[in-house]
Structure 1
Amino acid sequence: MTVTAEVLAAVVGGPVRALERLKGGYSREMWSFDADVDGQERPLILCADLTTGVVGSADSLGREAEAELLAGLHGAGLPVPGVLTSGGAGSPLGRPFLVMDRVPGTASVGPLLRDPHHLARRDALGAQLATVLAAVHAVDLPDVVGPLPPPDEVAPREVARWARALDSVPDARTPAVRAAQCWLDTHLPPPPERVALVHGDYRTGNLIYGSEGFRAVLDWEMAHAGDPLEDSAYAALSCWRLGTGLVGGLVPVTRWVDLYGRAAGRPVDGAAWEFWSVLGAVKMVALTRRVLDLLGPGGERDLLRRLAAQLDDDLRDAGSSRTSAAASLQ
Structure 2
Amino acid sequence: MKILFYGTASYDKDSFNKELKSYPNIKIDYVETNLTPMTAALARGYDAVCAFVNADAGAMTLEILAGFGVKLVLMRCAGFDAVNVPVAKDLGMKVTRVPAYSPQAIAEHAMGLALCANRRIHKGYNRVRDNDFNLEGLVGETLYGKTAGIIGTGRIGAALCRICKGFGMKVLGSDLYPNMQLVEEGVVDEYVEYDELYRRSDLISLHAFLNDESRHMINDDSIAKMKDGVIFVNTGRGGLVDTQALIRGILSGKIGAAGLDVYDEEGPNVYQDRAGEVIDSVTSRLCSFPNVVMTSHQAFFTKEALGEIARVTLDNAQAFANGADFVERSVVC
TM-score (norm 2): 0.26
- Larger % of helix: which? 1
